[in-house]
């Protein structure tokens, strides 16, 4: 008998020998709907050490260009999403790499990239969470490897709770990698002292945009 069959047959025998108490399941409730509160979203993100700027769908690129000059960021990475294209077309654009080939671009991504820019498909107000879907336009490592991660998100894509964010995927196939991001990478593994930039981005910068 294969290991699979042996394990499954033991479980089925065990279940028949002592069936579960199904009364316990009644304690569950249906998923809760919460009205998204953008102020809560901003304060939750800031509490997690992210920087949040309120902007608009037509204004964020100008705002970001200003911040980029102030900070002197030179090595930008984008994917193929709308945010990347807008940034690329922006006239004050610094040197920007379009991330399109893993094998040839892995080394510079790890060694030289300073800032990555991408769109969050949705947000969760309650916990200050950004929902980033992997796709051919948004590679998985874009939101992970460069030390600064800039996220653009539309206000009207923000939902109240994780329940509601996951409900968007009911009866649909999930992206290969669905990532919920709530702040820069961090650790408290040394004497419970919080330090940012453990392995992922040290800084998370969010442009929360009102649609115009």
Partner 1 sequence: MSGFSPNPDQNFGVRIQEALGNEELRESFHGAMTFLREKRRQQFPDPDALDALRTRGAAIRERALAQLPDLLEQLEGQCQHNGIRVHWAEDAAEANEIITGIARKTGGKRVVKGKSMATEEIGLNTAFENAGFSCLESDMGEYIVQQAHETPSHIIMPAIHRNKASIARQFAEQIPDTPYTEDVDELIGIGRRVLRRAFADADIGISGVNFAIAETGTLCLVENEGNGRMSTTVPDTHIAVMGIEKVIEKLSDLPDLYRLLTRSATGQPITTYLNLISGPRKPDEIDGPRQVHLVLLDNGRSRIYADRQLRETLRCIRCGACMNHCPVYERLGGHAYGTVYPGPIGQVVMPQLLGLDKAGKLTQACSLNGACGEACPVKIPLPDLIRRLRHDGVSRTDSPVRGQGKQRKWIEATIWATWLSIHTHPRLYRLSTLMATRLRRLMPPLPRAWTRHRSPLRPAARTLHETLQQRERARQKESAREQ
Of 41, 44, 52, 125, the residue at the interface with partner 1 (CB under 8 A) is: 44
Of 161, 205, 206, 209, the residue at the interface with partner 1 (CB under 8 A) is: 161
Cβ 6 to partner 1 shortest distance, Å? 6
97 binds partner 1 (CB under 8 A): no
Cβ 145 to partner 1 shortest distance, Å? 8
Cβ 91 to partner 1 shortest distance, Å? 27
186 binds partner 1 (CB under 8 A): yes
- Contacts to partner 1 from residues 112-141, by CB under 8 A: 127-129, 134-136, 139-141
Cβ partners under 8 Å of residue 18, min gap 6: none
Of 36, 84, 123, 184, the residue at the interface with partner 1 (CB under 8 A) is: 184
Please tell me the count of residues contacting partner 1 according to CB under 8 A.
80
Closest to partner 1 by CB, 60 vs 99, is 99
Cβ partners under 8 Å of residue 180, min gap 6: 124, 129, 130, 131, 132, 162, 165
Closest to partner 1 by CB, 193 vs 212, is 193
Of 183, 203, 207, 208, the residue at the interface with partner 1 (CB under 8 A) is: 183
Cβ partners under 8 Å of residue 168, min gap 6: 122, 159
Cα distances (angstroms) measured from residue 116 to each of 97, 98, 127, 193: 9, 10, 23, 27
Cβ partners under 8 Å of residue 110, min gap 6: 145
25 binds partner 1 (CB under 8 A): yes
77 binds partner 1 (CB under 8 A): no
Closest CA to 115 of 151, 165, 91, 155: 151
CA angle 91, 93, 98 (to 5 degrees): 125
Beta-bridged to residue 124, according to DSSP, are 129, 159
H helical segments located in 18-95: 38-47, 60-71, 82-89
- Contacts to partner 1 from residues 46-75, by CB under 8 A: 48
104 binds partner 1 (CB under 8 A): no
């Amino acid at each position: 008998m294969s290991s699979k069959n042996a394990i499954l047959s033991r479980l089925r025998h065990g279940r028949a020998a002592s069936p579960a108490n199904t009364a316990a399941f009644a304690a569950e409730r249906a998923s809760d709907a919460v009205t998204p509160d953008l102020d809560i979203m901003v304060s939750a993100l800031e509490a997690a050490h992210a920087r949040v700027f309120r902007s608009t769908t037509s204004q964020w690129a100008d705002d970001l260009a200003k911040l980029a000059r102030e900070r002197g960021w030179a090595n930008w990475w984008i994917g193929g999403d709308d945010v990347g294209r807008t940034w690329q077309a922006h006239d004050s654009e610094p040197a920007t790499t379009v991330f399109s080939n893993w094998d040839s671009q892995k080394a510079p991504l790890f060694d030289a990239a300073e800032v990555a820019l991408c769109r969050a498909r949705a947000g969760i107000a309650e916990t200050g969470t950004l929902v980033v879907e992997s796709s051919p336009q948004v590679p998985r490592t874009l939101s992970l490897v460069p030390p600064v991660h800039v996220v653009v998100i539309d206000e009207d894509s923000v939902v109240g709770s994780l329940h509601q964010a996951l409900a968007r995927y009911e009866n649909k196939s999930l992206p290969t990698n669905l990532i919920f991001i709530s702040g820069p990478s961090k650790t408290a593994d040394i004497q419970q002292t919080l330090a940012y930039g453990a392995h992922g981005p040290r800084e998370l910068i969010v442009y929360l945009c009102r649609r115009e």
